[in-house]
Structure 1
Amino acid sequence: MKYILILCVIAFSIFFAVGVYAQETPRPSEIVILEDSLPANSQSEGEWLWDNTFKFSGTSSHTSTPKEGVNSHSFRMPSPIKLKEGSYIIQYVYLDPQNPPKGLMMRFNLSDGKEAGIYWEGEEEVFDIKEEEPVWYIGFLPKKGEWVRLEVPVDDLEIQDKEITGISYINYSGKVWWDTTSVSEEGIYDEPSKDEMKDLDYIE
């Protein structure tokens, strides 16, 4: 049973933590939630540092001053965004190779007053997730030192047909740059088959 669980975690890690240098402009099927600046009339919390010297696309990425433990910055948008069935939440991240985080998390505020979340960790479990919390472990941390595109199916989070009203960007220690956040009607990657898994090496 433990062996099967390990294989499942590796599969999720390969699927959700793949580094890609994609085009700078979103595909037509993508709805941009956040790029270069906070939406007009939005409400922000925490420290937002915009870095126009380091980015994947557009003019800047956002980050915050490194500190030990949980580090969070968030915003509430003026108009909710509807999540269609079969769509994906897309997030570009860059983990500082000199000061990497021990964990990444994104939390989504929903128009019905509920929340949903996703997180990635290394070998050490750093986030204290309560059993009743709707926060899902996606896999190991993405590769350090390059921009990585993270894709998460909204159906797996059971938030299809719901509306996002806010997002929190969270890292545990270390430094992270966050760039474009968007919703796509389709993902770039297909989950690898069992035969394909035999030929794949996990990238830490």
Structure 2
Amino acid sequence: MKPLSSLRLLASLCAASICFAAALPAAAQFKEIIWVDDDFPPGANSQVNADNHPHSWVTQGDGNQVFFGKKALQRSGMGVAQDYFSTCDKPLLVCEGDKLFTHIYLTPENPTRAVMLQFHSSGWYHRVFWGDGDAVPFGTPRTTQKVDMGPLPAAGKWVRLEIEAAKLGLTPGMEITGMAFTICDGEVFFDKTGLATTGKEPPHGEARDVVWLDDDFPAGSTPQASGAPAQWVTAADGKVHSGQRALKRTGGGPTQDFFTGATNLTELKRGDVLYAHVFIDPTAKPKAVMLQFNDGVWEHRAIWGDPEGIKWGALNTVSRRPLGPLPEAGKWIRLEIPPAKIGLYPGAKLNGMAFTHEGGTVYWDKAGLSNPGPGKK
């Protein structure tokens, strides 16, 4: 075998390098969405937890630091202090590979023990911290509720903090509606905060109507009830919306029919809407009606009517989300729930559902999920 000349060897290596480089996947392209800068987002219900000290948006000078725009958010104090909001007019949609970011300046003369960023998506379940995690007693350590990113960044200069959304349990299709800027002791300035997004939204589900309950409980499920056994009635005995039978229940307090372990409940897709049909007896109205969904736990509930009529779950969270007044009595009404309202997102796998009401007589019929398909509402 004849040895290659130096020039030929170099050319061969260069060609191999070019081929190898061409085989590498393209790096993700990010677009920055600035969410918090000079003020909170439009419509934000901003609040503080710092001995009732108001938000402090400061301009450059007199010891104050600004990184971008005209103002930065300054927070100082002893113990845990934070500025936060849980709702706003324009939530952030999480896409595949997205990263959350902020910029901070730690005052060297007034050191903090920890900095935490918290993100609200149907609850405060997504947190990341730098520094002493024990100093901020929120969330369960070593879970997406409290991700440890190591020591505090260097003081005396602006530093960009970044965290992959997926590491906080924020998956494609989820919406971030709020955020908290949290410290323990010292003084910290926050500026230019938002989402570096790939724009790769999860695929929209195809048009479909998946029926879980109609004439009977789903295949493979274990039906249960609070109080008397389930009562299925025909049109001759009561009210029926679809098929041959409807589920009827009368109670003097919280009462329900429910099932778990269903084998035909499908995985949620983007664009899905959960639904059920309800008929309220006009002569025996309940205080409230509720639909509950199980994805391993019964912590996804929507309520209509008196929001305190059924006290399961925490009010105004995904575990008890008010969605309006009691449905009109004397006629069949279709109740619809955007899954995100109760903390369910694309990829969630449901296995159970509960049909609940407080007092009165209620009929339930045809329940499941529907999707209008891409580009439709």
TM-score (normalised: structure 1): 0.71
**Other-structure match for 2:262:** 78
Shift of 1:105: 0.6
CA RMSD of aligned residues (A): 2.2
Which one scores higher on RCO, CA 8 angstroms, separation ≥ 6? 1
User: Which structure would you say has the larger Rg?
Assistant: 2
Are residue 127 (structure 1) and residue 327 (structure 2) matched? no
Give the letter aligned to residue 127 of structure 1. I
**Aligned partner of 1:36: which letter?**
D
The aligned amino acid for 1:50 is W
- What secondary structure is seen at the aligned counterpart in 2 of 1:163? coil
Matched, 1:105 2:290: yes
Q: 2:355 aligns with which of 134, 148, 169?
A: 169
1:185 alignment partner in structure 2: 371
After the TM superposition, which segments of 4 or more aligned residues of structure 1 sit over 4 Å from their partners?
Answer: none
Bigger fraction of residues in helix:
1
- Per-residue deviation at 1:31? 0.5
Alpha carbons of 1:130 and 1:158: their partners in 2 closer, same or farther (altered >3 Å)? closer
Q: Which stretches in structure 2 are left out of the alignment for 5+ residues?
A: 1-206
Matches within 5 A, 1:23-102: 29-46=208-225, 47-53=229-235, 54-64=239-249, 66-79=250-263, 80-102=265-287
Tell me the CA shift for residue 133 of structure 1.
6.4
Structure 1 residue 90, shift from structure 2 partner: 1.3
**Cα distance, 1:40 vs. partner?**
3.0
- The 3-state SS of whatever aligns with 1:75 is strand
1:157 to partner: Cα distance: 2.2
Q: 1:55 offset after TM fit, Å?
A: 0.4
SS at the partner of 1:50?
strand
Q: Could you say which residue in structure 1 is the equivalent of 2:334?
A: 149
Contact 2:276/2:365, CA 8 A, preserved across alignment = yes
Cα distance between partner residues in 1 of 2:275 and 2:331: 16
Structure 1 CA distance, aligned partners of 2:337 and 2:256?
20
Q: Percent same amino acid among aligned pairs? A: 26
Shift of 1:130: 4.4
How many residue pairs were aligned?
159
Distance 1:98 1:125 in 2: 22
Partner SS state of residue 171, structure 1? strand
Measured against aligned partners, the alpha-carbon deviations of 1:126-159 in whole angstroms (never above 9, x if no partner) come to 1224437622111101100000111111122230
| Displacement after TM superposition at 1:78 (Å) | 3.0
3-state SS of paired residue (2:217):
coil
Which residue identity does 2:224 align to in structure 1?
E
* Contact 2:292 2:298 (8 Å CA) reproduced: no
